[in-house]
Amino acid sequence: MDRRTVLKGLAGVGSLAATGGLSMPALSQGAAARTLKFVPQANLANFDPIWGTQYVVRNAAALVWDTLYGLDATLQPQRQMVESEQVSDDGLVWTFRLRPGLKFHDGAPVLAKDVVASLTRWSARDPMGLMIKAIQNELTAVDDKTIKWSLKAPYPKMLLALGKNSTPCAFIMPERIAQTDPFKQIPEYIGSGPMKFAKGEWVPGAKAVFEKFADYTPRQEKASWLAGGKQMLVDRIEWVVIPDPATAAAALQNGEVDWWESPITDLVPSLRKNRNINVDIADPLGNIGSFRMNHLHPPFNDVKARRAVLAALSQEDYMRALVGDDTALWKPLPGFFTPDTPLYTEEGGEILKGKRDLAMAKKLLAESGYSGQPVTCVVAQDQPITKAQGDVTADLLKQMGMNVDFVATDWGTVGSRRAQKTPPGQGGWQVFHTWHAGADCINPAAYNAIRGTGDKAWFGWPTSEPVEKEVLAWFAAKNLDEEKSAVKRLNKAALDDVVYAPTGFFLSYTAWRKNISGIAKGPLPFFWGVSKSA
Amino acid sequence: MVSYIFRRVLSTLPVMGIVALFVFSLLYIAPGDPAAVIAGDQASPADVERIRQGLGLDRPFLVQFGTWVWQILHGNLGTSIFTNMPVSAMIAQRIEPTLSLMAITLVLTILVAVPLGVVAAWKAGSWVDRTIMAFAVFAFSLPVFVVGYVLAFVFSLQFEWLPVQGYTPLAAGLWPWLQNLILPALALGTVYIALIARITRASMLEVLQQDYVRTARAKGLDTRNILFVHALKNAAVPIVTVIGIGIALLIGGAVVTESVFAIPGLGRLTIDAILRRDYPVIQGIVLLFSFLYVIVNLLVDVTYTLVDPRIRY
């Protein structure tokens, strides 16, 4: 009997127990109803959304900092802090006007100079920001409310860049804070979002507290993801970090917490049996599993070896290892873009469909010149998603006749080792696994992992001129049809060159107590519109 | 005695120095990169490198070590790479839950294990002795997290008597404080109770065979007096030694217990810091634990003189 079995069994039996109130916090009923206790997917270890780009930081930052635009549930950027915008006929000058009544948490009004400083810091770190910066003439505050961004070339995706939810988001901070070096942490956490960060109550690794900002002026439109009126219906949100999933499940069942962002799939059946708990898909955009190969060193510097992997790889094996037998949680993905989004395509994806062809894989591998040298597969054991993928990959590569050097380690080590370009025998690697949020894979804008810019590309450093050509075509596209055409070609080019091997599309659950209402499905937990009854 | 204590305290300085060098060297050569963790999964290799430079992690070993030692000599444990908070402030936030957990566990252990061991020795060979020793073997074999889950299931989910997770400071009241610590202390203390009970039994068995015990019995002293006043005091030296050693076990066990019961203590801080490669925090905590361990050993040595007047320093 292993730890996971014990954990699952106890949580399962525990779900049958009635919930009680003995362990409720020592708050009055009214105060308890105005305090939402939330278990985040990870520890909020730092709180600078430009410096540290982990999703958990972005999720917390969305409470505290606002953005000029926000992506809505239809994936369109909508005005958020901005009242109006104008773009010149030649597409070279963008002018934005801030809406009235915006204030920072220290009481100061939000001014154009704050926006200029914030966008300057953001554009030094964000992939889209870097593109804009590369064609920037100047970014200036015309007056207190007006910002002008003049460019040397048109940038049609400007509003998407300013409103996207992939990290780092273009959060607006006071000028004095935004002037911090983008590669160093900010010293204060003052924003203009609907909640204030209670720095004094922050216990990194255990608790983070957000309090309602009384002077926040929400937009009048209905809230939709990061867009619309961010109406806060609770006064206080406490993020309670519970590292152990069984404990988090028990705390939710016991009423000690209200909302658990990411329950592990093993525990979902038992949570579902509890009459006081709702369980649903967290984010319809889901995630894409990634088998990342190093294009710099043999055998995967040869496209035939990479294609051999695609020919043999069974996405079903990967997905079942990740999410178990719940078929509602995954689907095959013969491509790189998020299913059920406008640009989704399977162009060129035949190699990932149908019966897996091990004989073809072995033939391709032999043609690549592979002759039994060790293939270093670096697998983080402390991340269930990477561990499950790594185990399947080890089996797959062995079936293909490869000599697998399986390096079982932790995510911190993988994060460091994957940056090594040296040969595998000298500290480098040939394979690692990760996953990409589906929200980042709806288009090429923030999709670093699909780029083929060689030395400047994401880990694995693929070089692919056809891929880069189509990425640029998408950026230049003037309408959805042009975007779709570009992405179709891009998908095919990325599969032909095997930029990476997608291991499938998978979803995850979120769980909350039934006295909580207003939880919206989306790529991050949206707290506006969420209320709690006593 | 005073000069002995003074000498022992002074002797901690080279110990701490060696620990500091060892820990710093170990972390320097260990794989992993905090800059990669900070940058997140979407960051480019160039971004990771810039962050590494910003943190000063690209500097030579001796420069980094010298800077750190200089800070420590000035009473500064440094700043967390991730939270940007002083390490001393982070430790201050976390020390109360850990010390509370250790204190409650220690008290619980002594109150349960010592009488169990004494009774087992007194009834050596009987069903009482066998039952207690069977419990000890069983308890010694149980992983802390299994005990934790079972206790949480029974007392939190089934009976709804105690909370599953969290910590309430002592300042909020005795019962709220205890409420959050009872289950973790029981979970953490189970192994420790088994260990102390076995040691107490072994030590008492030896003492109970001494002539003076037989004489005491012959003089008509009641059993309780013989066991707990005369025999236990003479059997105490090995028990105190094991309790002292056990504090190291408690520190290790606290890491698991704090994770299972989501107690925001130093154990969890240690794990988080290791996984993120937050070097200043790891170094600060290891130094603190080393210091605590040295002090506990000193207290154990001093306690010997209280239970056995023949021991003098």
Q: Which of B50, B82, B179 is closest, CB to CB, to A183?
A: B50
What average pLDDT does this structure show over A36-43?
94
Q: Are strands A509-513 and A259-260 parallel, antiparallel or unpaired?
A: antiparallel
Contact B156 A254 (CB under 8 A): yes
In this predicted structure, the answer to whether residue A306 has a pLDDT above a threshold of 90 is yes
Residue B94 DSSP code: H
Q: Measured between CB atoms, does B184 come within 8 Å of chain A?
A: no
A244, A260, A500: best to mutate for the B interface, most B CBs within 10 A: A244
Number of continuous H segments (helices) and E segments (strands) in chain A: 16, 21
- What is the per-residue pLDDT for A80? 98
Cβ-based neighbour number of residue A360 at 10 Å: 15
The answer to whether residue A3 scores a pLDDT higher than 70 is no
List A38's β-bridge partners, or say none. A239, A259
Whether the ω angle into residue A194 lies within 30 degrees of 0, i.e. cis, is no
Neighbours of B216 (CB within 10 A): 18
pLDDT at site A14: 44
How large is the average pLDDT for residues A159-182? 96
Residue-level pLDDT at B8: 78
Check if A446 contacts B (Cβ < 8 Å). Answer: yes
**Does B160 contact A413 at a Cβ distance shorter than 8 Å?**
no
Is-contact B159 A19, C-beta < 8 A? no
Interchain proximity B44–A413, CB inside 8 Å = no
For residue B157, which residues of chain A lie inside 8 Å, CB to CB? 13-14, 17, 250, 253-254
Closest chain B CA to residue A242: B262
- Chain A residues touching residue B45 (CB < 8 angstroms): 419, 458-459
> Which tens digit of pLDDT belongs to each residue from A465-485?
999 999 999 999 989 999 999
Is residue B36 within 8 Å of B296, Cβ to Cβ? no
Residues 404-443 (A) with a CB less than 8 A from some CB of B? 409-413, 415-419, 434, 436, 440
Cβ of residue A450 closer than 8 Å to a chain B Cβ: no
DSSP for residue A67: B
Q: How far is CA A487 from the centre of its chain?
A: 20
List of chain B residues whose C-beta atoms are within 8 Å of the C-beta of residue A181: 54
pLDDT of residue A308: 98
Average pLDDT score over residue span B4-21:
83
Q: Strand A146-151's sheet: what is its strand order? A: A82-87, A93-98, A146-151, A136-141
- 3-state DSSP: chain A helix, strand, coil percent, rounded to 5? 35, 20, 45
DSSP string, B181-204: HHHHHHHHHHHHHHHHHHHHHHHH
Which pLDDT tens digit goes with each residue over A55-88? 899 999 999 999 999 999 999 999 999 999 999 9
Contacts of A218 (CB under 8 A, 6+ apart): A194, A229, A230, A231, A528
State how far residue A15 is from chain B, nearest Cα, in angstroms.
8
Which residues of chain A neighbour B164 with C-beta distances below 8 Å? 23, 247, 250-251, 254, 256
Residue A140 has pLDDT above 50, yes or no: yes
Average pLDDT over residues B115-121: 95
Q: What is the largest CA-CA distance in chain B?
A: 85
Residues from chain B contacting residue A187 (CB–CB below 8 Å): 84
For A24, name the nearest residue in chain B, comparing CA atoms only: B163
Q: Which of A42-56, A444-458, B295-309 has the lowest mean pLDDT?
A: B295-309
pLDDT of residue A19: 35
H helices of B30-151, where?
34-39, 45-55, 61-73, 87-122, 127-141, 144-151
Q: In chain A, what residues touch B142 (CB-CB under 8 Å)?
A: none
Could you tell me the pLDDT band of residue A413, with boundaries at 50, 70 and 90? confident
Task: Locate the chain B residue with the closest alpha carbon to A244.
Answer: B260
Residues 89-108 of B with CB under 8 A from A: 90, 93-94
DSSP string across A194-223: SEEE-GGG-BTTTEEEEEE-TT----SSPP
Helix (H) or strand (E) holding A399: helix A384-399
**Helix B174-208 to helix B87-122 angle, to the nearest 10 degrees?**
40
pLDDT-based confidence at A181, cuts 50/70/90?
very high
> Is the CB of B275 less than 8 angstroms away from the CB of A411?
yes
As a whole number, the mean pLDDT across chain B is: 89
Give the pLDDT of residue A18: 36
Identify which of B161, B164, B176 has the shortest CB distance to residue A256.
B164
Helix and strand totals (H; E) in chain B: 13, 0
DSSP per position, A266-317: GGHHHHHT-TTEEEEES-TT-EEEEEEE-TTSTTTTSHHHHHHHHHH--HHH
Q: Is B33 on the interface with A (CB under 8 A)?
A: yes
When pLDDT is averaged across residues B47-55 and rounded to a whole number, the result is 83
| pLDDT score for A504 | 97
Is residue B178 within 8 angstroms of chain A, CB to CB?
no
Interchain contact B56–A (C-beta under 8 A)? no
Cβ–Cβ below 8 Å for A52 and B40? yes
Range with lowest mean pLDDT among A10-19, A181-190, B84-93, B247-256:
A10-19
- A241 shares contact with chain B (CB less than 8 Å): yes
- CA A146 to chain B, closest CA, distance in angstroms equals 31
Which residues of chain B neighbour A22 with C-beta distances below 8 Å?
160-163
Question: Is there a contact between A416 and B39 if contact means CB atoms under 8 Å apart?
Answer: no
Q: What gap in Å lies between CA A435 and CA A289, rounded to an integer?
A: 4
What pLDDT score was predicted for residue A425? 85
pLDDT of residue B16: 84
User: Which chain B residue has the Cα nearest residue A413?
Assistant: B32
A 112-141 residues inside an 8 A Cβ radius of B: 125, 127
Instruction: Inspect the interface and report whether the beta carbons of A459 and B164 lie closer than 8 Å.
Output: no
How many residues are present in chain A? 534
pLDDT digits (tens, 9 = 90+) for B183-203: 999 999 999 999 999 999 999
Nearest CA in chain B to A448: B42
The answer to whether residues A132 and A161 touch, using CB atoms and an 8 Å cutoff, is yes
Q: B32 and chain A: CB distance < 8 Å anywhere?
A: yes
B169 at interface of A, judged by CB pairs closer than 8 A: no
Nearest CA-CA distance, residue A88 and chain B, Å: 33
Chain A residues within an 8 Å CB radius of B42: 53, 166-167, 440, 446, 448-449
Yes or no: say if A257 and A248 are a contact pair by the CB < 8 Å rule: yes
Q: How far apart are CA B117 and CA B114, in angstroms?
A: 5
Amino acid A133: pLDDT: 95
A13: pLDDT confidence band, cut at 50, 70 and 90? very low
| A83-92, A165-174, A198-207, B247-256: range with lowest mean pLDDT | B247-256
The C-alpha of B259 sits at a distance from chain A's nearest C-alpha, in angstroms, of 6
- Chain B's closest residue to A188, CA to CA, is B84
Q: What is the pLDDT of residue A27?
A: 52
- Find the residue in A nearest to B145 (Cα): A3
**pLDDT score of A30:** 67
Q: Does the CB of B260 have a partner CB in chain A at under 8 Å? A: yes
B85 lies within 8 A of chain A by CB:
yes
Give the residue on B whose Cα is nearest the Cα of A434. Answer: B41
Provide the whole-model pTM.
0.87
State whether B262 and A206 contact (CB < 8 Å): yes
The shortest C-alpha distance from A218 to chain B (Å) reads 30
Residue B40 has pLDDT above 80, yes or no: no
**Rounded mean pLDDT of chain A?**
92
Q: What is the mean pLDDT of residues A325-347?
A: 95
Burial class (CB in 10 A: 0-12, 13-18, 19+), A446: buried
Q: Does B28 touch chain A if contact means CB atoms closer than 8 Å?
A: no
Residues from chain B that touch A20, judged by Cβ atoms under 8 A, are: 160
